[in-house]
Structure 1
């Protein structure tokens, strides 16, 4: 199929989650070939890849712990062999768990920052050399909590704020050959969020928003496609806020 991303090769980390899968679908609709990354869900990854293939694009699946240098290197190499050089990277893999800072320990802290911040660096570092030759695009998934903070989510908010600093600094370092931007969704109704989404939790996180509701994964993907596409050529180091007006900047 033909679209604004036809001929591009996209890698989406954490693709088997609700948000990652929605992003994959929109990239495929836009014509990109898509590599579906997962940690330990091969059946879900294969099912998603088969679904994406119905859009007339090429797909493949890769497994890796985003905090593992060697596993990520092998996964990026596998994508290259299957689809070609990665030209669009969506750093979407994430982990969040509510814990009061006084109840947390260094292992809790490192687990969250490992996935949500270190993982962004590790995957980017392996993909970037090829992108510098192909004028690639990177879209990092941050969160509105990077701006607002939240009780019980100190480590998560810290990691996502780090993603924004990484986005801005990297944009200056590798632009304009590689465009680096971010999206800051939230709160989004996903299975990762749902176990914590009591009525009180939802009310607390939407009371200051314009929409007064949780967003959906399907409302995030189009912004990622935009940042990866030709319409965002002047955007470097920017963040699109997909949070119903909960954060305005």
Structure 2
């Protein structure tokens, strides 16, 4: 990625991990097209972050996706250098109690949007010899109780990432990051409940929740020339949580929580 303005698209870029990615990529010199449904947050992003361009987008709507891609390609004069597929939702429900509506919603928002955005941006990424990083989850690397729908979509992102690396790896790199327990609004309950936060932290070798910026650092590296020979991988950013099972500490009980970003 050398010469001229570098253009990136970040979906779900107005909050959480997506916002941290926008900040980091802007610091790295990218012009960042921010796609999100949160128009109020999008306006703040545009005002506060240099070279950030907000485009209101519902990732369930192909016309919105095409508008985002068109904006990015116009800025980049037909070239796109980076795509971060970050938009996502979660739902905690036991499989027996789940329904078609929940499964279809998560499939469209989490997995199908990765297909749609990548498909819409493919020609620009090819012209720009760009890179794609999709945000999966540790719940896509292992099973997750009460998260069968969410876990399935995140595992699908990892499989799609690897398949795309095989098909397009000579020109475009495709990788995934798998966040663990990251301090975003998806983890609001864990952050505000001292007992629950202690129980969750006890299962993480790092002993704490991660920060969105720590995920963004890995995303930025994967998009950089320094990762030029990294393709088709899924990197856990989870403080060691997915390394294996830890012995429960005395007096610590596990509570329901969402191992997600």
TM over 0.5: yes
Counterpart residue number, 2:204: 209
String of CA shifts for 1:21-71, please: whole Å, max 9, x gaps.
1111111111111111111x2221121122211xxxx22111222122222
Counterparts of 2:198 and 2:139, CA distance in 1: 15
**1:62 alignment partner, one of 41, 55, 75:** 55
Q: Secondary structure at the match of 1:220?
A: helix
2:87 corresponds in structure 1 to 93
Match of 2:252 in 1: none
SS of the residue corresponding to residue 170 of structure 1 reads helix
Structure with bigger gyration radius:
2
Shift of 1:241: 1.3
Q: How do 1:176-215 residues align onto structure 2 when only pairs under 5 Å count?
A: 176-195=170-189, 198-199=193-194, 201-202=196-197, 205-215=200-210
State the partner residue of 1:115: 109
* Contiguous gaps of at least 5 residues in structure 1: none
Q: How does 1:134-145 map to 2 (within 5 A)?
A: 134-145=128-139
Question: Residue in 2 aligned with 1:26?
Answer: 24
Deviation at 1:189, TM superposition (A): 1.1
Please report the TM-score for the alignment, with normalisation by the length of structure 1: 0.90
Larger CA deviation: 106-115 vs 72-81: 72-81
Gapped runs of 5+ residues in structure 2?
245-261
TM-score (norm 2): 0.86
Q: Cα RMSD over matched residues?
A: 2.1
- Residue of structure 2 in register with 1:224 after alignment: 219
* Secondary structure, aligned partner of 1:192: helix
Q: Aligned partners of 1:13, 1:31: CA distance in 2, in Å?
A: 18
SS in 1 for 2:29: coil
1:149/1:196 CA distance change after superposition, 3 Å: farther
Q: Judging changes above 3 Å, is the alpha-carbon distance between structure 1 residues 154 and 200 closer, same or farther for their aligned structure 2 residues?
A: farther
Q: 1:164 to 1:15 in 2, by over 3 A?
A: same
**Aligned-pair CA distance for 1:78:** 2.2
Quick one: structure 1 residues 203 and 151, their matched pair in 2 at CA, closer, same or farther if it must change by over 3 Å? farther
Query: 1:206·1:246 contact (CA, 8 Å) conserved in 2?
Result: no
* Distance in 2, Cα, partners of 1:158 & 1:216: 24
For the 8 Å contact 1:211–1:244, the answer to whether it is kept is yes
Verify the 8 A CA contact 2:7 2:30 in the aligned structure 1: yes
